[in-house]
Structure 1
Amino acid sequence: MGKERTLVISDIHGCYDAFNRLLERVNYEPVKDQLILLGDFVSKGPESRLVVEQAVSLVRKDGAIAIQGNHDERFVDIVRNKTKEARDKFFRHGGRQTVYSYLKGSDMTGSEEDLLTRLRETVLEKYPYHADFLEQLPYYFEDKHFIYVHAGLNPKYPNWKEQPKRDFLYIKDSFHKTDTVVDKIVIFGHTKTVDLHGKADVWYGKGKIGIDGGCASGLQLNALEIIGGKEVRAVSVPARRAAIS
């Protein structure tokens, strides 16, 4: 028996509080709902470790589907010490917050290289399954009506599954500004919707829907609720709780 709803969320970026407020707002019930998470669990926001821990649980216990984002790939590269490029980009794109979330309660002084060394040691000692989980995530998922991906599809590839891995994780303008070559609607994150139409709400384009509300930038976290395979509704929560006056 199929699920009653599909709920799609992307680019949580360590926004653990907003993520749980959003799940509560959409009344997420694993028995009835298929949850799909479009990647970028880490970096920028304050609680990367808690978000990854929850994503692991949602996938393993509730049957949620998770897709890899570019920040997730970079985190794995950092932990596995794979490339210098990953090290160079890590701190420029919200990596310090990731370090803080994993080393919380310990001394944060030292050079960036020192912090990276301690991050690697901590993850490999205490949370090796976080790196394993993020490393093995697929680049896409599809059902009868939709294709779900972190960044988008390159229209130069009639068989979109053959596009380079980098396109799944990074593509922007050539996807946003060109008609797709697929007969399903593409649901994606990666590019903040405020950059697509000037506001953080879900963006509806021709054959594509962008849902990255820019939570880690202080905007909002969006969920796309799909009922019966076609009826689509957007739900959102602000990045931060409103102050009680």
Structure 2
Amino acid sequence: MKRILVISDIHGEFDKFEQLLEKVQYKPEEDQLLLAGDYVDRGPNSKAVVEKVQALVAEGAIALMGNHEKMMLEAFYDEETYLPRWLRNGASETLRTYGYTVIYKEEKGVLKGSVDGEWKNDLSVQEAIAFMEELLPYYETEDYIFVHAGVHPTTPLAETDLHTLVWIREVFHQGYTGVKPVIFGHTPTKNLHSSYEVYFGTNNIIGIDGGLVYGGRLNCLELPSKTVQYVE
């Protein structure tokens, strides 16, 4: 049986991501790599992470949508409506890696940000957007469900909207009662059990977001053994 290696919430930490792949001795011809979203924002090199994920997918990895990719997509297609929320969640760091800065101006007592330059006409940005549009909302096998944030306890998975799959927290954490284990990121495990170690919930949920950009670590969960390796 192939090892399934699950990593989430890289958030632009390209060097740490590379270190972790080397540490777990990932071999695409032997292992199934599954990346559970949030490749961009907050960290130092989102562009490099996106390009790395693209290359890994070309080799057979499975990549899921995270809420940060969803925010970037929304801001790209409707900047006026969605850029403010993306900026509040680390967009400036991502835009910087594509060569753009954010300018803040006060309008009627409110500080508003705008991108300095035609970022949406940038070929590299457009390629990233095209790739993000193809990211999976979730991935299910006979034994596991993989998703960025979680599943709704009372809604069939196939009928669950993307917003829920990439944003849900407590309703899922406290309410899931399914037989099939759900492996997820999104919520730093320190918020689940006061530790950046992988969270093995009593209700068949496994949280792997080690909060790397908050001073934690980048976890890799190996299945079916449930062993964990990480970098800090």
Could you tell me the TM-score, scaled by structure 2's length?
0.91
User: RMSD between aligned alpha carbons?
Assistant: 1.6
Name the SS for the 1:144 alignment partner: coil
> Which residue of 1 is the match for residue 121 of structure 2?
121
- The answer to whether structure 1 residue 236 and structure 2 residue 213 are counterparts is no
Greater alpha carbon shift after TM alignment, 86-95 vs 65-74: 86-95
Would the aligned equivalents of 1:78 and 1:120 in 2 still touch at CA under 8 Å?
no
- For 2:76, the equivalent position in structure 1 comes to 79
Aligned equivalents of 2:209 and 2:154: distance in 1? Answer: 24
Q: Which of 92, 95, 101 is the matching residue for 1:96? A: 92
Query: Residues 155-170 of structure 1 correspond to what in structure 2 (within 5 A)?
Result: 155-157=153-155, 159-170=156-167
Alpha-carbon shift at residue 219 of structure 1 (Å): 1.2
Whether the aligned pair in 2 keeps the contact of 1:36 and 1:66 (CA below 8 Å) is yes
Tell me the CA shift for residue 127 of structure 1: 4.0
Structure 1 pair 176–87 and aligned structure 2 pair: CA distance change class (3 A): same
2:115 match: secondary structure: helix
Identity percentage over the alignment? Answer: 37
Q: CA deviation at 1:184?
A: 0.9
2:206 alignment counterpart: 209
Shift of 1:65: 0.2
State the distance in 2 between where 1:163 and 1:114 align.
33
Alignment of 1:190-205 (within 5 A): 190-205=186-201
What is the distance in 1 between the residues matched to 2:215 and 2:118?
28
Cα distance in 2, alignment partners of residues 119 and 220 from structure 1: 31
Give the distance between the partners of 1:179 and 1:114, measured in 2 at CA: 40
Please tell me whether the aligned partners of residues 102 and 114 of structure 2 are also in contact (alpha carbons under 8 angstroms): no
Matches within 5 A, 1:12-27: 12-27=10-25
Q: Deviations over 1:200-239 (max 9, x none)?
A: 110000211000001122211000011xxx321111110x
User: Amino acid of the residue matched to residue 223 of structure 1?
Assistant: C
Partner of 1:43: 41
CA drift of 1:134 comes to 0.5
8 Å CA contact 2:66, 2:166 repeated in 1: yes
* TM-score, with length taken from structure 1: 0.86
> Aligned with 1:113: secondary structure?
strand
Shift of 1:109: 6.8
Distance 1:28 1:196 in 2: 28
Extract unaligned runs of 5+ from structure 1: 239-245
